[in-house]
Amino acid sequence: MPRSPSKRRQRSKEEQEDGVQNQPKCRQSVMFMKDSLFSSSNIQVIKLKHPRTSSAMYVFDEDNRRLYDMVVFDEGYRSWFIGETIQSDGRLYIISPVDVSYLILPYLMEATKNIPLDHLLEDPDFPSLSKLAAVAATKDFSHIADRKGNAELGVWKYSENKTLSWLEKRVKQLSKLLQEKKVPTSNAQSFTFVRTMDSQQTQEAYLVLAYGIISEYLSEDLSKALHKHLQLPEAKSKQKPLVSVENQPPVKKQKVEGPVEDYTKTAVPENKVKSPQTAKAKALAKSASGSKSITSFFTRK
């Protein structure tokens, strides 16, 4: 007599299937990053203080002592098809190198004493700030600060003139690159509109655009100082132009149409003169005498 399949084998098979279904799915994301990061054995995502906002996420390459900015584009209600899976996280991550000078500027501007940079970059709210200090230890900040004492001490004092001159060069370099790439200077601006502007207007438009991009990595006070240093035009408020009253045409009086008679007063009956009836009207009236009106059939009984 053939033996039935073992119940133990059936249970193990069911448990295996349940185990596969209950395994946590691997979360995958789409990132644009340099190939050199794949060869690094120690990459960390850290949280640091952002010069413009409260905080931001960065990628720290400990092997090469480099810091990368992490920009996230999230449009919502989007997913990625990766292989044979669907990832509900439709965000796009872009990992790009960042100049640590922008991250150190707020600490240099707020410093009240000349202390080494590794002591200056200490913040209990951001424990990963020590990694920024490790990257900054090998950098030269003579373009934004003055060195104090021996080079081995790593003491820097903030210089506003040097910083504004350095930022001016960065803005002009970025403006030139944007103009070469023919990037529209506004969201609603077409390429044909860029061509219709003269050379001075075009350079000014791209300079304003480059300034706006650089200002995303600057504090509000430093951004205002840079705007004044570059002598950029003030943002025009979108208001309706005020026209002098003297130039306005004379206002026409609107014709008011409506009842002329005053209906609040007691109406005075008028004596109407009856027009004489014709022979046909008299005949109809005579034939209708003694008959009921049609409305009498619809009255309540």
Average pLDDT on 21-47 reads 77
More confident residue, 65 or 173: 173
pLDDT digits (tens, 9 = 90+) for 55-97: 999 999 988 889 999 988 888 888 889 888 888 888 898 999 9
Token pair listed for 63:
């092997």
Is 142 a domain residue? no
Q: Of the ranges 23-32, 47-56, 287-296, which is most confident?
A: 47-56
- Given a cut of 70, whether residue 243 has pLDDT beyond it is no
Residue 31: which H helix or E strand, with range?
A: strand 30-32
| 29/58 Cα distance (integer angstroms) | 16
In a domain, 190, yes or no: yes
Q: How far, in Å, CA of 285 to CA of 264, rounded?
A: 38
Determine, yes or no, domain membership for 53: no
**Does residue 194 have a pLDDT over 60?**
no
- Residue 64, domain member (yes or no): no
Number of structural domains in the chain: 1
The residue to which tokens 């910083």 are assigned:
163
Question: Is 211 a member of any domain?
Answer: yes
**What's the whole-model pTM score?**
0.65
Residue 215 lies in a domain: yes
For the chain, the helix, strand and coil percentages under 3-state DSSP, each to the nearest 5: 40, 15, 45
> Angle CA(63)–CA(69)–CA(70) in degrees, nearest 5?
110
Which one-letter amino acid corresponds to residue 123? Answer: D
**176 in a structural domain:** yes
Q: Are 89 and 80 in contact (CB under 8 A)?
A: yes
In a domain, 97, yes or no: no
The boundaries of the domain holding residue 209 are 161-232
Q: What does the pLDDT average to over 269-280?
A: 58
